[in-house]
């Protein structure tokens, strides 16, 4: 894919209450704001809010990966130990390859600030030319988790043949996120 193509990035908020309008989604906008700060080229957000429902999550992930051709899909929510928290399982179902190091690293960083972060089960995987990354639903955790893995996110997009991303230096100290340019 051409470096000049504007990448689409899917953002899926997984929440029963936000999807039913019981409260405003705060985590999806937090993801979008983070990306706006760190990506130094034009990109477009493709947003979805779905309930903690396996069928609706699966449909949203498949649509963003296959129909919208998103290079990256970030989910927020559904990663805890509760009975309706099934985001990692649905991610595993739709992805061809899992990348458990993403979740391991995010938990390692998060647990230093919040001891209960060890309960989070986020993961990542690849579907075709799309990287799917699960984040916790807490807006406070989003920046810390993305800071921990974002250089690897952009590198992975390059490896899988997705539209590449590069970052500005506000968080990553002049580090390009293109493979081989660090």
pLDDT greater than 70 at residue 137 = yes
Residue 128 in any domain: the answer is yes
Residues in a beta bridge with 75: 12, 134
Instruction: Dump pLDDT digits (tens) for 138-175.
Output: 998 999 999 999 989 988 999 999 998 887 755 665 33
| CA 150 – CA 152 distance, rounded (Å) | 5
Q: Is residue 67 part of a domain?
A: yes
The percent helix, strand, coil of the chain (3-state, each to 5) is 45, 20, 35
pLDDT at position 165 is: 85
Token digits of residue 153: 């996110």
Residue 71 within a domain: yes
Helices (H) and strands (E) in the chain, counts: 7, 6
3 lies in some domain: no
Q: If you count them, how many residues does the chain have?
A: 182
Helix (H, G, I), strand (E, B) or coil at 85: coil
167 inside domain: yes
178 falls within a domain: no
* 19, part of any domain: yes
Answer whether residue 181 is part of any domain: no
Number of domains in the chain: 1
CATH of the domain at 69: 3.40.980.10
Please check the confidence at residue 176 and state whether its pLDDT lies above 50: no
Cα(65)–Cα(8) distance, rounded to whole angstroms? 10
Task: Tell me which residue range forms the domain holding 47.
Answer: 8-172
Q: Mind listing the pLDDT tens digit for each residue in 49-70? A: 999 999 999 999 999 999 999 9
- The two three-digit tokens of residue 43, written as one number: 């990109």
Look at residue 1 and tell me whether its pLDDT is greater than 70: no
Q: How many other β-carbons are positioned within 10 Å of the β-carbon of residue 51?
A: 17
């Amino acid at each position: 894919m051409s470096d000049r193509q504007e990448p689409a990035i899917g953002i899926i908020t997984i929440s029963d209450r936000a999807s039913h309008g019981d409260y405003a989604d705060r985590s999806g906008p937090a993801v979008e704001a983070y990306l706006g700060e760190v990506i130094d080229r034009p990109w477009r957000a493709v947003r979805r809010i779905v309930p903690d429902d396996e069928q609706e999550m699966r449909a949203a992930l498949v649509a963003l990966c296959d129909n919208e051709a998103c290079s990256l899909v970030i989910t927020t929510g559904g990663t805890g130990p509760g009975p309706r928290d099934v985001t990692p399982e649905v991610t595993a179902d739709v992805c061809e390859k899992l990348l458990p190091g993403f979740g391991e690293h995010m938990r390692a960083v998060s647990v230093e600030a919040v001891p209960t972060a060890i309960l989070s089960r986020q993961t990542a995987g690849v579907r075709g030319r799309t990287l799917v990354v699960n984040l916790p639903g807490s807006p406070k955790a989003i920046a810390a988790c993305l800071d921990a893995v974002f250089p690897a996110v952009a590198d992975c997009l390059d490896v899988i043949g997705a539209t590449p991303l590069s970052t500005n230096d506000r968080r990553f100290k002049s580090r390009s996120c293109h493979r081989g340019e660090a």
